[in-house]
């Protein structure tokens, strides 16, 4: 996992919205695009950034690509942040 790629992917509001959609269900690019006002090229760009960061993956299903969220990357990011908590952490 590359934290830089993960944080870059999460920094964009559209990509966070895509992740919110995929949290509920796996979707095709066409189904994802119904929720946004952007070109197919722009959506493909956002999906590629999410894939490069390992936040989503896709599988071929006949003539479509079905996108799903990769929850294990979120677990790794949370584990990274919890390393900073330590025993001496106080609010």
Q: Give pLDDT tens digits for 39-74.
A: 999 999 999 999 999 999 999 989 999 999 998 888
Determine, yes or no, domain membership for 67: yes
What's this model's pTM, rounded to 2 decimal places?
Answer: 0.85
Distance CA 82, CA 18 (A): 26
User: How many CB atoms are located within 10 Å of the residue 48 CB?
Assistant: 12
Indicate if the alpha-carbon torsion angle 79, 53, 4, 35 is positive or negative: negative
Least confident window among 68-72, 76-80, 82-86: 82-86
CATH code where residue 32 lies: 1.10.10.10
| DSSP at 89 | -
Give which of 29, 24, 70 is closest to 47, Cα–Cα.
Answer: 29
Determine, yes or no, domain membership for 90: no
């Amino acid at each position: 996992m590359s934290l830089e790629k993960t944080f870059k992917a999460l920094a964009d509001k559209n990509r966070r919205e895509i992740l919110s959609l995929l949290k509920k269900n796996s979707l095709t690019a066409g189904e994802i695009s119904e929720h946004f006002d952007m070109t197919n090229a722009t959506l493909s760009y956002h999906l590629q950034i999410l894939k490069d960061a390992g936040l989503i993956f896709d599988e071929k299903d006949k003539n479509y690509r079905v996108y799903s969220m990769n929850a294990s990357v979120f677990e790794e990011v949370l584990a990274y942040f919890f390393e900073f908590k330590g025993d001496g952490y106080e609010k």
